Amino acid sequence: MVDILPLKGLLYNQKKVEDLSKVISPPYDLIGPALEKKLKSVSPYNIANLILPQESGGMDKYRNASKILKTWIQDRILVLDSQPCFYLLEVLFKDRGSYKSIKGFIGLNKIEEYGKGKVLRHENTLPKPKQDRLSLLQHTQTNFGLIYTIYRDNTDLVAKLTEEQKPVVEVQPFYDPNLMFRVWRVSEEEPMACISNLMAPKTILIADGHHRYETSRIYRQKMKQQGITAADYILTLFVNSNQKDISIHPTHRLLKLKENADFHDLLKKIEMYFAIEKIGDQQSDLAAVLEKEAEKNQKSFVLYFEKKQVYLIRLKQGLTQVDQWNGLDVNILHHILIGKAIGQSNIEDISFTHEMDGVMKKTNQSRRHLGILLNAPGINQVEKLSEQGQLMPQKSTYFYPKPCTGLVMYQLDSFRGKRLL
């Protein structure tokens, strides 16, 4: 069973912070330098000051985050909710010209080892982000962001609980006018029991937040050695994957080629594995091109090398090992296109982006950059592979939209009323 609990959320005090749109942020790993600067300048209480702290007054950034948090709590900028509850969350968003909505609920989820089958993952993680988040957690003992998980159920309990109820929060974040967040509180015994009973037999899949979950597993082990149980739970968003508006966006690759790598020579190697079609110099809808390829069950990619060199490549039939990689576009990209055709020896660096425009802009600025655009896996495919215990490469999925950071937080020592450090 999935072990979940309500919580006394750590919340912004709306008597002190009237405009919540200026204090919430995207998840920390989506904040680049320019956005970080904007977030911190729009309000001195923006959550970015805690999730992306800076060194100050001789203190390292993690100790500074702890100091800021304590000050905000002392000044009642942040306050604990009056009683334990679940928080219902609706995210309204605009995606490709259409208005959509997904709903879920926020609570505490007991941290489990993956082998127990209660919590599934689908991507590999890297050590550097885990160490960063661990240091922040050790100094603040607070979950600022949400682990975004999905479960499958044929009922729509969250929608029923929000019917004819007025949200306690409704905010459009200044950082993205295409988003709107609504929050409801559920503190009555009967609906809280309904939520707990719903989740008891479920398995949940981490959609976003693998590094933060891994961090909390490490931290829990450290606290267990001291006999402290408050670190057994992590702040989690639970979303029913049966909602039609849940979508996964692709994560495109941007390759920085070595100085001696020649793109046209690479094309000849690529042609050993892929049929190549030049799209031309027009700014066509490349997302639509890839979607049509997916509808035909083609394993296809778009190569973007300067404005006048845009190619659609299709994997040739009969290649071995494709089934071994579950037919995933991202696996074919790394094993065949990058691993065999282009070759790691020709690549200086690989970066990732969710925005096609970002790939094109960077590529147009430098002849050493090659953009690779791809399709995202389907949610059913991700769930199936996770249930089989198989992992995708890092940056394989981008569940959209992401929940914001700062609406509901979890201070670990509020669990037992005891300080951890």
Segment 247-275, tens digit of pLDDT: 888 889 999 999 888 888 999 999 999 99
- Give the per-residue pLDDT at 282: 52
- Give the per-residue pLDDT at 416: 47
Length of the chain: 421
Please give the model's pTM, rounded to 2 decimal places.
0.86
pLDDT at 415 over 80: no
- Give the per-residue pLDDT at 134: 92
pLDDT at 224 over 80: yes
Quickly tell me which residue has 């009922």 as its tokens. Answer: 155
Tell me what the mean pLDDT of segment 112-141 comes to: 80
**The pair of three-digit structure tokens given for residue 130, joined into one six-digit string:** 């885990």
Least confident of 10-19, 184-193, 387-396: 387-396
- Nearest-5° angle of CA 136, CA 250, CA 109? 40
**Spatial separation of the C-alpha atoms in residues 84 and 185, rounded to whole Å:** 10
- DSSP 8-class letter at 282: S
- Give the per-residue pLDDT at 164: 74
Higher pLDDT, 313 or 353: 313
Higher pLDDT, 352 or 142: 142
Which has the closest alpha carbon to 287: 300, 278, 271?
A: 300
Which domains does the chain show, CATH number per domain?
4-247+399-414 (3.90.1530.10), 252-375 (no CATH)
Residue burial 66-104, b: 16+ Cβ < 10 Å; e: rest:
bbbbeebbeeebbbebeebbbbbbbbbbeeeeeebebbb
Q: State the helix-helix crossing angle for 210-224 and 127-140, rounded to 10 degrees.
A: 50
Res. 284 pLDDT band, cuts 50 70 90 = low
Query: Each residue of 191-203: pLDDT tens digit?
Result: 999 999 999 999 8
Res. 367 pLDDT band, cuts 50 70 90 = confident
- Give the per-residue pLDDT at 328: 81
70 close to 63: Cβ distance less than 8 angstroms: no
pLDDT at 185 over 70: yes
Query: Each residue of 290-332: pLDDT tens digit?
Result: 999 999 988 999 999 877 789 999 998 766 555 545 678 888 8
- Give the per-residue pLDDT at 326: 62
User: What Å distances lie between residue 280 and 253, 257, 309, CA to CA?
Assistant: 20, 22, 6
- DSSP 8-class letter at 82: S
3-state secondary structure of 13: coil
